[in-house]
Amino acid sequence: MIKGFNFVAGLIFMIVLQGCSTLHVHRHMLSFQNRPEKLPLEVGLFLSDKERNYDITVLLGSKFMIGEALEVAAVESLGKVFRAVSIFSEKDRVPPDIERIIVIKFGPETIASTSGGFRKAKTELFCEVYGKEWNLLWKETSIGNATLEIEKIQFNILGGAAGGAASGYAAGVRNEREMIQINTESLISALEQLNDKILTSGKEPILRGK
């Protein structure tokens, strides 16, 4: 009876912890490949309020603020393929030194799931590149996927209710860490793929008129 109580106590504690969590990207996780060249352009990244505040449900009602992550990550990733990158949020106020405008939006396939002992994340990004007068030059879709095997959860069934709660807390923290990791990895993968496309199929149309 006590063992069962401890298990339930830990499980309830984990669910309560997960159910009220808002997860944020860890900046130290963001790292992008250096590229052999950069396009000689100063670009402005435009993100709408919708994209900045975009979130996805990751586990038991917890949400990962992937829009917040995109705002940070996209500036860093685009900095690997353009001479300079800045960000702005008012569509009718394009900074005067900007030569191209980049718009990134999340696609409907941006999801997180858990099944078969694995956590899975998929990030779909729609990218459009415009001239200074909002004339469309190029557009592309990129998709990043990531998979992570779930660590097994072991509850402390000998430490009473406190032991069960402690085990539940540890499992909850581990779950949050894994969900942040997997969703960050899928976002990075999508942005790396976008950089590949910018330097290949996108290079000519983006540079046209330079």
- Tokens describing residue 194: 């976008």
Phi and psi at 113, nearest 5°, equal -150, 165
pLDDT of residue 52: 92
Q: Are 106 and 65 in contact (CB under 8 A)?
A: no
Closest to 11 in 3D by CA, of 155, 151, 152, 119:
155
pLDDT of residue 13: 41
pLDDT of residue 161: 45
**Which string of b and e fits 57-67 if b means at least 16 CB within 10 Å?**
ebbbebbbbbb
- Tokens describing residue 23: 């997860």
**Cβ-based neighbour number of residue 190 at 10 Å:** 28
Spatial separation of the C-alpha atoms in residues 27 and 119, rounded to whole Å: 21
Residues with Cβ within 8 Å of residue 13, at least 6 apart in sequence: 164, 165, 168, 169, 172
pLDDT of residue 116: 77
pLDDT of residue 4: 43
| Residue positions counted in the chain | 210
Beta strand pairing call for 22-23 and 62-64: parallel
pLDDT of residue 151: 66
* Fold that domain 22-152+177-207 belongs to in CATH: Rossmann fold (3.40.50)
Residue ranges covered by each domain of the chain: 22-152+177-207
pLDDT tens-digit profile of 188-205?
999 999 999 999 999 999
Report, as ranges of residue numbers, the positions in the chain whose pLDDT lies below 70: 1-20, 23-28, 58-61, 151-174, 209-210
